[in-house]
Amino acid sequence: MNRYKIEQLEKYGKIKIKKVPNFNHKRSQEDYNKIIEETERELRQVQTMLNQKLNRVQNEILKICVNKILEVFRYYFDAFTWKENKQKNRLFKRYIRELKNFKKKYFGTGKNDRDLIDELMEKLIHRFLKQKREIIQLEEKLKSSKIAPFEDTIEIRDNKIRKLVD
């Protein structure tokens, strides 16, 4: 079948085209979801600690920082991610720097809170860098073996079409 016919059949709901990855991550998507939940919990903890010292506008900026960092983590901790994203890397660096600036500016005295925030942020940075390295290795492996990252598979939903194909 040519591409046009396949697109028409998909449009009418007779078939469904799925992209299946030609690669495997070291972890499953469930493991990645747990890591993202843990990361979100840690970021929300940092946000809560910083929230108390900030005004409304600064809180909104802090909320944006936390959400952008979570967006980067959701990209890198996904079973379908096979390629490094330079823009996400820049976002991560920028917003981690913003969080550090907030901490530096508003936590001059509370040593325990400051240490806890430092520890959580170092953990986040380490987790990000480790996953980024794994993605880069996966990308290099796919390039060296010259394998396409995804394959299209067709699921036939209509029995009349199934008879035509068989």
* Predicted pLDDT at 53: 79
Helix (H), strand (E) at residue 12: none
Whole-angstrom Cα distance, residue 132 to residue 76?
Answer: 7
Site of tokens 């802090």: 62
Question: What phi and psi values does residue 156 have, to the nearest 5 degrees?
Answer: -90, 125
> Hey, is 105 helix, strand or coil?
helix
Residue 157's pLDDT is: 79
Average pLDDT over residues 63-68: 95
Confidence (pLDDT) at 3: 74
pLDDT for the residue numbered 102 = 86
Per-residue pLDDT tens digits for 118-160: 899 999 999 999 999 999 999 998 889 888 887 878 787 777 7
Q: Does the pLDDT value for residue 38 go beyond 80?
A: yes
Q: Where are the domains of the chain?
A: 26-165
pLDDT digits (tens, 9 = 90+) for 106-122: 776 667 878 888 899 99
Single pTM value for the model: 0.80
- Give the per-residue pLDDT at 61: 92
Q: How far apart are CA 74 and CA 121, in angstroms?
A: 17
CB burial of residue 39 (10 Å; 0-12, 13-18, 19+): buried
Average predicted confidence (pLDDT) for the chain: 87
Backbone angles phi, psi at 108, to 5 degrees: -75, -30
pLDDT of res. 137 = 94
